[in-house]
Structure 1
Amino acid sequence: MFELHPRLSQDCIQLGRFPLCRVLLMNESRYPWFILVPERENIVEIHQLTDEDQVQLIRESSHFAGVLAELFRADKMNIAAIGNLVPQLHLHHVVRYRNDPAWPGPIWGRFDPKPYDERAVIDVKEKLKYSPLRDFSFFD
């Protein structure tokens, strides 16, 4: 049975899911930073997914990245599957701006997190709710 890694549970806000992936919002308000986690047990790397799940992951990631880029008016989308601290397969989707605090470098380890307040989380959810996300269901 799929279980979300404790570090992801601790550091993120669970938003909803696509057919394959759980969708999380990293609790770092400097960046619109989302994470897709394939809901499969004991998967560390993309190549460990079935061929069908690999294709579905790319579909979900690509569609989500396009929607995020449009909704948040991204200068650049950073998408990465690093997994050095959290071994469970997960893909970061970070909306980047030329004027963000870490530009042009990576965001990892630059600052202590600046958590979202309750209103800002609602705003992100509302933005996604009225976006053209296909096959997405929100958690209550």
Structure 2
Amino acid sequence: MSEFELDARIARDSDLVTALDLCQLRIQNDSRWPWLVMVPQRSGLTEIFDLSPAEQALLSVEVNRVAAALKTVTGATKINVGALGNIVRQLHVHVIARFEGDPNWPGPIWGFGQSVTYEEQQKQDFLNKLVEALS
């Protein structure tokens, strides 16, 4: 098996938060929504069913853990979880906190408006709370 390599678009649009057992946990560089991306550190995968059954179970555990921590930290109305991959084929899962009244509520976030970069202190404060909630 070849060495894991992160898709250049994911690398460009997000920053590493931490490495979990299976996934890289990344924050999307768009402050309009608390938006995390989880990338299984396995090469050449595009679909969840490409993972072994044990890795599928671990992905589910990690996604649920991250989603619960995100809900705790943000108090979100709804946590959206999706593995789309129509443009970026590398297997990755989006975990997004949504709030009534957020930009484009209740519609989808993909392709809506222009991203808004985090202020560094705002991002660090959020990530500190998130990492604590994951502990």
TM-superposed deviation, 1:117:
1.6
Structure 1's consecutive aligned runs of 4 or more residues displaced over 2 angstroms after TM superposition are none
Q: Give the counterpart letter for 2:50 in structure 1.
A: Q
1:69 aligns to 2:67 (yes or no): no
Greater fraction helix:
2
Question: Which AA in structure 2 matches 1:18?
Answer: L
- Give the CA deviation at 1:129: 2.9
1:86-105 alignment runs, 5 A limit:
86-105=88-107
| Structure 2 segments unaligned to the other structure (5+ residues) | none
Once the two structures are superposed, residues 53-105 of structure 1 have per-residue CA deviations (whole angstroms, 9 ceiling, x without a partner) of 00000000011111111110010011000001100000000000011011000
Identity between Structure 1 and Structure 2 (%): 38
- Opposite residue 47 of structure 1, the aligned amino acid is F
2:116 is aligned to 114
Q: Alignment length, in residue pairs?
A: 133
Aligned-partner SS, 1:25:
strand
Cα separation, 2, equivalents of 1:122 and 1:84: 30
AA at the equivalent of 2:10: L
TM-score (norm 1): 0.92
Structure 1 CA distance for aligned equivalents of residues 61 and 80 of structure 2: 16
Question: How many angstroms does 1:111 deviate by?
Answer: 1.0
Letter in 2 for 1:69: K
Matched residue, 1:19: 21
Q: Which amino acid aligns with 2:86?
A: N
**TM-score w.r.t. length of structure 2:** 0.95
- Structure 1, unmatched stretches of 5+, are 135-140
1:4 is the counterpart of 2:6? yes
Q: CA RMSD in A?
A: 0.9
For residues 4 and 116 of structure 1, the distance between their equivalents in structure 2, rounded to whole angstroms, comes to: 22
Match of 1:31 in 2: 33
> Can you list the C-alpha shifts for 1:2-54, whole angstroms capped at 9, x where unaligned?
01100000000111111000001000001000000000000000000001100
Name the CA distance, whole Å, in 2 between partners of 1:51 and 1:57: 10
